[in-house]
Chains A and B, each alone.
Chain A
């Protein structure tokens, strides 16, 4: 099918994408380390309940954490070995989570799901749920829940934008596993019973656009290179022209957005009968010695990943889990690969600004570039003054935390941080009110 141009959205920012660091390096499989720490809450919703005890022998692909509740996901062991302990650890991002610690015995014994009896919509959804697949773009919302909408949907939008700078894993997957993605998309489309499938890819990935244009059955949309075109609402607008109303979800306009990596996970779960035990992530930044695209076992400590990539350079000032625009900074390397991690970026001093904030000069760059058309400077001043009603009035709850405002701020104000604070306070007030 021919490539169609996406709808133009005038608000957003242009960031040097820095993808050259590892755009052409193929995905390497990193051998599983000695010890893995598998978190029980790698998704939005209730943490999984451990079903193994210390001392148990587990195989690769064996269930170790069972979903608890409707919005939750199963957790599987990513190596064969012995469960050492189940402990609570505060990771480098600052989250206190329960981890199952597994010692790798390097026998690599694997258990698989039984073959699918049929490929009906419900069996596909059941398999996706069983395999513990969540939105791998970063949100971590259980995919099976997303695939059972209340009202029928019309369009499945596949997010191949990858608008975050540095990150390359989706791009590499689109080049190396085009067939698998195509099959995964078809299964998901069948489960959703949608007629139209659209895949949106940023223009700076011409090879990926080319690769998908060979397949029949879906529309390939070339998106303008602009951050944050990969945000759910903006992707829907740019590919279909539909606007998701304020406070509504994509299914309200008949769309479902899925990530490239999620599609591969679905394909593996359905055709190869494999649960989700591996993720592909980009290790990049000027602070790391050899940037790579890696396939790692879930639970691999970041310290091992850094070592595998040649270690950190001396000029590293910041470690980021995820992309540099929306990812979380790490206070230390106590972090273990989870389902939603898409990158580990080591930023050197020249790449990230650590300047102190100064007075706002009202330049309105934040408001002019905000992709959600909010007034970040007002939300910030309201939040700092403790006026959370005012912050809500200026649209704090609509913020997608993309960071466009703070990126452009000449006074280097921590706009996103203040808006997050306001959002938390508004949510708190609403819960107390009810």
Chain B
């Protein structure tokens, strides 16, 4: 109908919708990663800034180029751009060290966006977290080139890092807990060393109601407790196992990715619990940092969890269950 020359919209109910959009969520995740980026640049210098910029830009460009090749026009790509590739790009940059060659983050982002995300159908269709896959791609591909981690002072650490040293030899780290928390004198990836910055970002995400704080906390607690259990119930391992390595960034920013978490509350409890067990177990068995591998493996289990666990309708009764099964 014409209303002062304007057409009325005719569509199905509900006619009111919440203002929150995918783009809003993803921009907020990027905002939540800013403290970690700043901390990384402070600790590791200008190289960190270059790596982050490279991974971010190459992720976004990969998405645009892929869609252009697919024949979508530029205006449409801009209109539907939802900032998920920014999150992926930033996370790829944050989870590698500064001693990687500068083409590593570019390759990692390209792999994450094109192979892991776009090949499967774009946002929301990927089976595993693109950032995790990108990180693992870089980690495995550059194993022979990069054998050491860099300390904030610029000196390389050969051999074992604080975490792997602790796990292999059983000796507790010489670093104080505060140093681990702030990331001082701690070798590692750009974004994973400063826990304070990550936790600021996580609190922001919780305040914006983007992530449910219960699940990452379950993951962290289970990992810590299982490490304690595997080391003869020595509770001195609890905090170092949480604060060393990439557990905090993995728990708050990678495991909580909407696309790669189960769709029910019950499924999420199981997922994060198993994730914790798997992380601690793999760490102990391999003597390596395995947060990203654990998340990758558990991502592949999600279709199974979602198949088994679905919400029961309101007013559900047991007799109904049989008839559902019969179908």
Contacts and interface: CB of A to CB of B under 8 A. Distances in A.
A403 B13 contact: yes
Interface in B238-266: 258-265
A354 B14 contact: no
A332 B260 CA distance: 43
Interface in B36-61: none
Contact of A245 (B1, B17, B317): B317
B266 to A, nearest CB: 11
B258 A361 contact: yes
Interface in A2-20: 11, 15
A275 interface: no
B18 interface: yes
A352 B315 contact: no
B70 interface: no
Interface in A244-284: 244-248
Contact of B17 (A345, A363, A409, A420): A409
Interface in A208-253: 233-234, 237, 243-248
Interface stretch (B120-128, B133-141, B181-189, B218-226): B120-128
B13 A364 contact: no
Contact of A324 (B15, B19, B265): B15
B13 A327 contact: yes
Given A368-B265, A371-B314, A374-B311, A420 B9 contact: no
B322 interface: no
A46 interface: no
B315 A330 contact: no
Interface in A371-401: 371-375, 377-378, 389, 392-395, 398, 401
Interface stretch (A27-35, A115-123, A148-156, A314-322): A314-322
A165 interface: yes
Contacts of B125: 359
Given A347-B15, A352-B9, A361-B124, A410 B312 contact: no
A118 to B, nearest CB: 39
Nearest to A374: B313
A400 B25 CA distance: 28
B75 interface: no
B305 to A, nearest CB: 12
Nearest to A316: B3
Interface string B295-327: 000000000000000111111110010001001
B265 A406 contact: no
Contacts of B262: 364
Contacts of A414: 11-12
Contacts of B327: 389, 392-393
Contact of B16 (A15, A233, A359, A370): A15
Main secondary structure of the interface of B (DSSP, over half): loop
Contact of B324 (A358, A393, A411, A412): A393
A399 to B, nearest CB: 9
A370 B314 CA distance: 9
A394 B310 contact: yes
Contact of A362 (B80, B263, B265): B263
A175 interface: no
Interface residues of A, number: 74
Contact of A373 (B15, B312, B317): B312
A325 B15 contact: yes
A70 interface: no
Among B19, B121, B316, the most chain A Cβ lie within 10 Å of the Cβ of B316
Interface string B57-85: 00000000000000000000000101010
A353 interface: yes
B22 A401 contact: no
A374 B310 CA distance: 8
B142 interface: no
B315 A361 contact: no
B326 to A, nearest CB: 11
A377 B263 contact: yes
Contacts of A326: 13-14
A424 interface: no
Nearest to B319: A245
A429 interface: no
Given A358-B82, A411-B22, A367 B17 contact: no
B22 A358 contact: yes
A139 interface: no
B320 A364 contact: no
A372 B121 contact: no
Interface string A329-369: 11111000000000001010001111110111111100110
Contact of B314 (A373, A401, A410): A373
7 contacts: A245-B316, A317-B8, A317-B9, A320-B15, A325-B13, A370-B311, A375-B311
Given A398-B314, A408-B20, 9 more contacts: A92-B1, A237-B314, A248-B315, A359-B121, A362-B124, A374-B313, A398-B313, A401-B13, A403-B13
Interface of A: 11, 15, 92, 165, 233-234, 237, 243-248, 312, 314, 316-320, 324-333, 345, 347, 351-356, 358-364, 367-368, 370-375, 377-378, 389, 392-395, 398, 401, 403, 406-412, 414, 416-417, 420
Interface of B: 1, 3-4, 6, 8-22, 24-25, 80, 82, 84, 121-125, 258-265, 310-317, 320, 324, 327
